[in-house]
A and B are shown apart, each in its own frame.
Chain A
Amino acid sequence: MIRWLARLRDIDRRWLYLATAVALAVPFVARGRIAMPPTEPFMVTRRLFDAIEACPPDKVVLIDSSWNMGSQAENEAQLECVVRHLCRRRVRFVVISVGVTELGPEFARQVIEPIAAEAGRQYGTDWVNLGYVQAGGDIKVLIEALCRDLHAVRPTDVHDTPVAQLPLMRSVRSINDAHLLFSVTYSPTADWISLVKGQFGTPVAFGCMTIMSPYYHTFIESGQLSGMLVGNWGAAEYERLTQARGKGTERIAFATYGNCAILAAILLGNLGLWAARRTRGRTR
């Protein structure tokens, strides 16, 4: 038995790949959702929810939606749940894609348009998509310029309509007109914190990939970050807070099976190592 277990130490990687494929295929085939447990959401998710709930009617939420197919698996659900909450609360919002991917505005549009239409929110009055802004050499410079004067950085929206003609943008000129900045991307730049929060005093929240989240907990602890959605789990928790069911709740099943596959691999590797050590000890 021990010798058989010792063979687990050197499993051919192709078996691991096959096991991963099977584990990730289960939610596709079963088409079942994993029920959310009756626990309090993570503090970081709750804080973002509370920040949006506290948005006064004369302010907007500025959303930096800078993701594409590379991080769609997690960022899409995050943007979806926040936009749904904003539409339900009738909070106006401005979307922009800053310096990461020129496909950002199109991906954002695909998420926002159906939700806004369903909630009866009008483009130009209740929400605006300003499109993509090239960062050039230094994203700090661009962020600062955006904070000071949105109209100067983006004179037209994604449809090439001059922003001055959009009713919403007449009351939104700088970051001071925003209640919150929500940056949703693979790994949001910390420059949002140092400039938007540090220099202009507007709260900042992030939506990031799960693997990038440990870095941002530093800013949560210091109070510089007003909330964060961590991967699909954050989106699923947010959906529970807003009593909506969306892509977060749907996709957390894939993350669950994926994480289980990783844990099983760790367990097998260590079992094999332990057994191999025992075998060596016996033969000595």
Chain B
Amino acid sequence: MRRQIVWLITFAGGLFFLLEFLLPAKAPAWLGGFDNPLTRCRRGVSDFLIVVGTMAFLLGPINLVRAHFETLRRKAAGRAESIVFLAALAVGFLAMALRETPAKRIAAAAQKVLIEGLLPGFFNSSMALLAFYLVSSAYRAFRVNGLDSGLMMGSAAIVLLAQVPLGDWMTYALPDALQLRSLAQWILMVPNTSVQRAVLIGACGGAFAAGMRQWLGIGRRE
């Protein structure tokens, strides 16, 4: 029964947006020329979606807390990380909960430590580490084993050089068509664009099929 209700709400929501999009903004004159009545309700439905979406945010922390408590309970590997996560979550939660109480100064300080002190450091470190992995993976992955990998490496080298002044300095004296920036622009605008579009069309087809299945409840277990 619960499944049927969920499907019914999904179907009604999908139908609303489909009809709102397909029906003209104004009815023909011979019908009275009235505005599309669904458009008027659209804002309310959109607000409802925002509210439901915000509720879904709770699912993430709840699942994470359960997973980390489970790690601690089973004394599995990664207990230290679980403790750090749970402590940070508890401090963050308390800081938000206490911000309108007499303990608001402590709450603000705790939040400052977490958000302005620790988080930027963690974030910056993890992003900075990417540079090292990037060089290491470029060394291992870009090996010319044939025409296709050669083409890929050649394009990557041209685009990499053209995105820094060095590439321009190397070729700026050459005719326009032979400059690295022109070649990079051509790579990005022609082969790259065609491939991106092909991928996008495929992905959209898949998303449409998945959406239809979801909307019509096809393939659901009864």
Interface set of A (CB-CB < 8 Å, partner B): 11, 13, 16-17, 19-21, 24, 34-39, 42-43, 68-73, 103, 134-138, 141-142, 144-145, 148, 210, 213-215, 217-218, 220-221, 230-231, 233, 236, 252, 255-256, 258-263, 265-266, 268-270, 273
The B interface, classified by DSSP as helix, strand, loop or mixed, is: helix
User: Are B166 and A256 in contact, CB atoms less than 8 angstroms apart?
Assistant: yes
User: Are A268 and B161 in contact, CB atoms less than 8 angstroms apart?
Assistant: no
Pick from B69-77, B78-86, B120-128, B208-216 the stretch touching chain A: B120-128
User: Are B135 and A218 in contact, CB atoms less than 8 angstroms apart?
Assistant: no
B106 within 8 A of A: no
User: Are A266 and B163 in contact, CB atoms less than 8 angstroms apart?
Assistant: no
Across the two chains, which residue of chain B brings its CB closest to A258?
Answer: B131
* A125-B179 Cα distance, complex, nearest whole Å: 45
Interface set of B (CB-CB < 8 Å, partner A): 43, 46-47, 49-54, 56-57, 115, 119-120, 123-124, 127, 131-132, 134-136, 138-140, 142-145, 153, 156-157, 160-161, 163-166, 168-169, 172, 179, 181, 185, 188-189, 192-193, 196-197, 200
Across the two chains, which residue of chain A brings its CB closest to B153?
Answer: A266
| Known pairs A142-B50, A217-B196, A259-B160 / 9 extra A-B pairs, C-beta < 8 Å | A16-B136, A17-B136, A20-B131, A43-B185, A70-B124, A221-B193, A260-B166, A263-B161, A269-B140
Given contacts A24-B131, A214-B196, A259-B163, contact A68 B172 (CB under 8 A): no
User: Are B135 and A261 in contact, CB atoms less than 8 angstroms apart?
Assistant: yes
16 contacts between A and B (CB under 8 A): A21-B132, A38-B172, A39-B179, A42-B181, A69-B123, A69-B127, A70-B127, A137-B50, A137-B52, A217-B196, A218-B193, A218-B200, A230-B163, A262-B138, A266-B139, A269-B142
User: Are A259 and B164 in contact, CB atoms less than 8 angstroms apart?
Assistant: yes
Minimal beta-carbon separation of B157 from chain A (angstroms): 6
Given contacts A259-B164, A265-B136, contact A217 B189 (CB under 8 A): yes
Chain B residues with CB below 8 A from A137, complex form:
49-50, 52-54, 56
Chain A residues with CB below 8 A from B179, complex form:
39
Across the two chains, which residue of chain B brings its CB closest to A256?
Answer: B164
User: Are A256 and B165 in contact, CB atoms less than 8 angstroms apart?
Assistant: yes
Partner of B135 from A73, A214, A233, A265 at Cβ < 8 Å? A265
Given contacts A37-B165, A273-B144, contact A214 B46 (CB under 8 A): no
User: Are A268 and B132 in contact, CB atoms less than 8 angstroms apart?
Assistant: no
* A19-B135 Cα distance, complex, nearest whole Å: 9
